[in-house]
Copies of this chain bind each other. A is one copy, B any other.
Amino acid sequence: MMQELFHPDLIEYVGTAAGHTIGMVIPSIDPIVRELLKIPETYRSLAILTSRVGAAAQAIAIDDAAKSADVELLIFELPRDTEGYSGHGNLFVLGGPNVTDCRRCVELALKGIDERAERIYINEVGHMEMHYVARAGRILHQIFNTPLDRAFGFVCAGPAGIAMVAADTAMKAADVEIIWHGTPSYNLSHTNEVIIGITGDYGAVSTAVETAYEKASLLIEAYGSKPESILHFKK
């Protein structure tokens, strides 16, 4: 879904991806903006990814992309968005010594987001984001406290109470550990959701996430339709 776009005034544009994500670079950041955002002088160039919908799909894709580029995560924010639903959008700013690595990171991340967004689900009563990955890199470590090179699982659903039941189910289904969590007023942005980040053996993590997915999905269906992947009902 990544689009190429050529415009003489748009040197920053790299591409777009699912969840109304746009990926950009700033080849050489303005010194006043740099200071304002407390970005160290080592980072001359920035990679910026920002979306209306999603949190972990983007975090996981960027974590993976950052393994192939000389970049560091400098800013991570989870605004309340999801375009009228009650989950997150996101802002990721990564710094690097040169624009080539930043652009490479954005390009790889956009591809990864298009794949990972398959597991962001929304319908008229609720939303879910469910992911697992075999090996967490530096970004997932930084954001969710995931041990490096270990499996990472992400269980998110709304309205908030549904995710509490899903989290309880996930923990009973497999031998995993919670390494991060959020409720509307804790670690989140007053979104109507609960999130757990988990680690453990890859098999256990995937079982826990899929069990949570089934539970949350059935509960949302109890008073609405089955939540659909955002890839199937909007770009």
Interface residues of A (CB under 8 A from B): 3, 5, 7, 9-10, 12-13, 16, 20, 22, 24, 26, 29-30, 32-33, 36-37, 46, 48-52, 75, 77-81, 83-86, 89, 91-93, 125-126, 158-162, 164-165, 167-168, 171-172, 177-178, 181, 183-185, 189-194, 196, 214-215, 218-219, 222-224, 235
Contacts and interface: CB of A to CB of B under 8 A. Distances in A.
B20 A159 contact: yes
Contacts of A9: 214-215, 218
A83 B84 contact: yes
Contact of A80 (B10, B80, B171, B223): B80
A33 B170 CA distance: 10
State how many copies of this chain the complex holds. 3
Contacts of A5: 222
Nearest to A173: B30
A22 B161 contact: yes
